[in-house]
């Protein structure tokens, strides 16, 4: 028992020593007389970021870059010489010259890289290079330390940190954009780009793979990017858009400097909002910008409109019909739609209003910010190739005019009030037959879609999902506590099924495979209709291609929901989420949700209790006393649920079902379920006072080492 603190103190001391050794070669400034050598780094004042030489894993090239100081794997957020690596770092040196230029020389004193400048000569004397705590590497003159002569923030690589601008400096032609690394070993420019559309004065952000568009944010409409209604200023972040004639950019500003967050464009083409987690020393996913299938550029083809709440997401906009019914029946919508009735083009056409949409691609559009909507309509009618118009700014009663020419593509129906009005040109005869059907009221919600939108809220700049959830949760929590007692079996089953679909989405359907790692009753939010939503992705991990399991030295999560292999070995996988889900099912059935009960000493062991009742053929005794079971059918469903729950919490991960089979087992009353083996409950209160031990045996009743366990 006394060994633990001593061990801790020792660990602490050696960590301190380690830091001291490191900092001998770390400093705060680079000057004319003090260049940066390969064995040295610059630190930001609060030691958040570090700048220096690095070589990526599996590479023998050297680069200059900025990384999170605490990150064990040097998580790089900026690279200077991404396209011109050093082959050998020995004797390389980074200088600053009298002009304020950073110059990287190799062994033979040849210039490998220099900081791009706008050609202004004689910019400074006594330049000083510093790294700021927001990750910005700056050059200032000693006379005027507030004015940045040069800053790395103007040249983003694959990470957009808070405070970085995205867009154009039209004087110098500087395009501040994100470009992915070629691979995780190679920082050179990859094919994925996220940038502001420069073509005309209707700015929007385009995500592309080479020249192929993957996603667009929709144009800035004075409040937000029109296709990303979830990204709005909130307590933590402020989103602004600046159009100063010479400068055109979007920016996210943080109200809390202690949160490090980035928009990250991964080498495999994922556009992710991540926040740095100081506990696990790694980035965690806040959300994926491309949140669902309707965000896929042009999914429904020309004149098609996407609605994620419909069973078939694509349909033709009114007045149009499918070009190829066969293709549409095969869910290939890319061919799109065509007009039912040709335009008259002689002033006898009219316009159909579509409310609350993400407006179509503006690649072929024309803008006048001074025109009214009425003038806009007249202007559009005068030119036969004009197909639609809208306001450029939706604030107040709306202002400005944008006209579209040619086919309309990439339109999306958003929930009521989230989008803006679009007026599409139709022949007069078509208009007669139209009834305005938009606005989103009375839509049937598909659980997967709803969950999806919670899981990965689309955004162009910044929104931290967890913050958002926190705000929602404070509202929801009160309600669900008061009402949880009243939940009928039907409602409970809906919740179980809803969470199952959400988890299925995370594990299989989302473009990313996401392990939640902290699934528990408290993280299941209920809205007014008691629809469940999985929340709190603070610990979630993304899995790439073939990866199915990962190891973490620091186990974070919630006692009682964590699978034995996760607690004991730090191994988490989809199967550890399944375990948590199993616990959740048993909790919901037994009415013990939100109690945090089963692991706390002497209280009540749910898994053990359920397992015993199962073996004694008294399974229904597990059921919550206040629960209203409607009929005999319900009893079968309850038994089925408990059996699925027990299958999910089996000790061996391989024995546990996958999420697709869980969903199948829950949804079918004919499938024969396998017999569960004994559950992986291992926790025995009396064992925890033993301090760290090397025992990693976690079978029933055995001792477990909790060395790095952190409860939440």
608's enclosing H/E stretch is helix 606-615
Sign of the CA dihedral with 583 first, then 589, 593, and 595 last: negative
Q: Which of 295, 410, 480, 518 is catalytic?
A: 518
388's enclosing H/E stretch is strand 386-390
* Site of interaction with ligand NAG (CB under 6 A): 25, 37, 39, 87-88, 90, 106-108, 110, 112, 191, 209-210, 214, 269, 366, 370, 383, 385, 405
**Least spacing, CB of residue 87 vs ligand NAG, in Å:** 5
**Least spacing, CB of residue 25 vs ligand NAG, in Å:** 5
Q: Which residue has the tokens 């399991």?
A: 549
Q: What is the 3-state secondary structure (H, E, C) of 110-166?
A: CEEEECCCCCCCCCCCCEEEEECCCCCEEEEECCCCCCCCEEHHHCCCCEEECCCEE
Task: Return the C-alpha torsion angle 33, 34, 37, 39, nearest 10.
Answer: 150
Contacts of 382 (CB under 8 A, 6+ apart): none
Q: Which CB, 191 or 327, lies closer to ligand NAG?
A: 191
Angle CA(664)–CA(665)–CA(669) in degrees, nearest 5? 105
CA atoms of 152 and 52, how far apart (whole Å): 13
**Least spacing, CB of residue 110 vs ligand NAG, in Å:** 4
Helices 632-648 and 489-504: crossing angle in degrees, nearest 10, is 40
Contacts of 371 (CB under 8 A, 6+ apart): 379, 400, 401
Is 518 a known active-site residue? yes
Token pair of 707, please? 């060395």
**Least spacing, CB of residue 503 vs ligand NAG, in Å:** 24
Q: Which CB, 62 or 682, lies closer to ligand NAG?
A: 62
| Total Cβ atoms within 10 A of residue 500 | 24
Q: Which CB, 214 or 704, lies closer to ligand NAG?
A: 214
**Least spacing, CB of residue 578 vs ligand NAG, in Å:** 28
- One DSSP character per residue, 28-72 reads SEE-SS-PBPTT-EEE-TTSSEEEEEE--TT---BEEEEEETT-T
Using alpha carbons, select from 222, 13, 9, 47 the residue that is nearest to residue 135: 47
Q: Which CB, 290 or 562, lies closer to ligand NAG?
A: 290
**Least spacing, CB of residue 107 vs ligand NAG, in Å:** 4
Q: Which CB, 383 or 695, lies closer to ligand NAG?
A: 383
**Least spacing, CB of residue 333 vs ligand NAG, in Å:** 18
Token pair of 623, please? 């059921």
Helix, strand and coil content of the chain, in percent to the nearest 5, comes to 25, 30, 50
Q: Which CB, 207 or 683, lies closer to ligand NAG?
A: 207
Q: Which CB, 90 or 97, lies closer to ligand NAG?
A: 90
Q: Contact 168/185 with Cβ under 8 angstroms?
A: no
**Interior/surface letters 612-628, b for 16+ CB within 10 angstroms, e for the rest:** ebbeeeebeebbbeebe
Using alpha carbons, select from 461, 559, 591 the residue that is nearest to residue 176: 461
**Least spacing, CB of residue 406 vs ligand NAG, in Å:** 8
**Least spacing, CB of residue 269 vs ligand NAG, in Å:** 4
Sign of the CA dihedral with 524 first, then 418, 323, and 199 last: negative
Q: Contact 603/612 with Cβ under 8 angstroms?
A: no
Q: Contact 196/188 with Cβ under 8 angstroms?
A: no
Q: Which CB, 26 or 117, lies closer to ligand NAG?
A: 26
Backbone dihedral angles phi then psi of residue 209, each to the nearest 5 degrees: -115, 105
Half-sphere exposure of 604 (CA within 13 A, CB side): 12
**Least spacing, CB of residue 400 vs ligand NAG, in Å:** 10
Catalytic residues: 518
């Amino acid at each position: 028992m006394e060994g633990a603190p001593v061990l801790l103190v020792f660990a602490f001391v050696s960590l301190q020593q380690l830091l001291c050794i490191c900092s001998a070669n770390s400093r705060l400034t680079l000057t004319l007389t003090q260049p940066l050598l390969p064995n040295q780094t610059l630190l930001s004042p609060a030691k958040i970021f570090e700048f220096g030489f690095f070589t990526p894993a599996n590479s023998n090239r050297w680069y200059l870059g900025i990384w999170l100081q605490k990150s064990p794997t040097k998580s790089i957020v900026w690279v200077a010489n991404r396209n011109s690596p050093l082959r050998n770092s020995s004797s390389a040196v980074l200088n600053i010259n009298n002009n304020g230029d950073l110059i990287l020389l190799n062994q033979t004193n040849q210039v490998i890289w220099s900081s791009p400048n706008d050609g202004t000569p004689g910019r400074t004397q006594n330049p000083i290079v510093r790294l700021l705590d927001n990750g910005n590497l700056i050059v200032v003159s000693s006379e005027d330390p507030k004015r940045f002569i040069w800053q790395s923030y103007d040249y983003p690589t694959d990470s957009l940190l808070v405070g970085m601008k995205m867009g154009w400096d039209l004087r110098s032609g500087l395009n501040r954009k994100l470009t992915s690394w070629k691979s995780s070993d190679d920082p050179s420019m990859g094919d994925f780009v996220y940038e502001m559309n420069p073509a005309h004065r209707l700015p929007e952000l385009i995500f592309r793979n080479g020249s192929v568009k993957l996603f667009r944010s929709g144009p800035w409409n004075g409040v937000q990017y029109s296709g990303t209604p979830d990204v709005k200023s909130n307590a933590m972040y402020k989103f602004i858009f600046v159009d100063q004639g010479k400068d055109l950019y979007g920016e996210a500003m943080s109200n809390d400097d202690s949160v490090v967050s980035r928009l990250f464009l991964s080498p495999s083409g994922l556009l992710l909002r991540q926040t740095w987690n100081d506990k696990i020393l790694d980035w965690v996913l806040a959300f994926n910008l491309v949140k669902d299938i309707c965000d896929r550029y042009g999914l429904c083809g020309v004149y098609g409109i996407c609605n994620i709440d419909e069973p078939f997401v694509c349909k033709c906009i009114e007045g149009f019909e499918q070009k190829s019914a066969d293709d549409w029946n095969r869910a290939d919508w890319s061919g799109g739609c065509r007009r039912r009735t040709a335009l008259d083009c002689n002033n006898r056409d009219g316009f159909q209003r579509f409310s609350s949409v993400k407006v179509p691609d503006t690649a072929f559009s024309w803008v006048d910010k001074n025109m009214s909507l009425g003038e806009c309509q007249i202007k559009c009618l005068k030119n036969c190739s004009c197909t639609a118009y809208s306001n450029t700014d939706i604030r107040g009663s709306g202002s400005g005019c944008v006209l579209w020419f040619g086919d309309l593509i990439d339109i999306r129906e958003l929930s009521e009030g989230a989008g803006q009005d679009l007026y599409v040109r139709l022949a007069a005869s078509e208009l007669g037959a139209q009834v305005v059907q938009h606005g989103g009221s009375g839509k049937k919600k598909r659980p997967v879609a709803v969950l999806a939108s919670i899981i990965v809220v689309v955004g162009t700049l910044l929104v931290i999902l967890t913050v958002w959830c926190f705000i929602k949760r404070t509202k929801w929590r009160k309600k669900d506590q008061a009402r949880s007692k009243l939940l009928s079996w039907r409602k409970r089953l809906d919740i179980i099924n809803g969470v199952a679909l959400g988890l299925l989405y995370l594990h299989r359907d989302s473009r990313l495979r996401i392990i939640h790692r902290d699934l528990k009753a408290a993280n299941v939010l209920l809205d007014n209709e008691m629809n469940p939503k999985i929340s709190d992705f603070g610990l979630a991990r993304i899995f790439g291609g073939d990866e199915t399991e990962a190891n973490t030295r620091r186990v974070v999560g919630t006692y009682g929901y964590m699978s034995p292999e996760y607690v004991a070995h730090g191994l988490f996988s989809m199967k550890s989420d399944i375990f948590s889900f199993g616990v959740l099912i048993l909790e919901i059935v037994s009415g013990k949700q939100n109690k945090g009960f089963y692991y706390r000493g002497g209280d009540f062991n749910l898994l053990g209790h359920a397992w015993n009742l199962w073996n004694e053929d008294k399974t229904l005794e597990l059921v919550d006393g206040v629960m209203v079971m409607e009929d005999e059918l319900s009893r079968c469903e309850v038994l089925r649920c408990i059996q699925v729950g027990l299958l999910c919490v089996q000790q061996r991960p391989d024995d546990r079902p996958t999420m697709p089979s869980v969903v199948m087992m829950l949804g079918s009353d004919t499938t024969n379920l396998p017999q569960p083996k004994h559950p992986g409950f291992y926790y025995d209160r009396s064992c925890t006072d033993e301090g760290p031990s090397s025992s990693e045996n976690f079978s029933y009743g055995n001792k477990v080492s909790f060395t790095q366990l952190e409860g939440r």
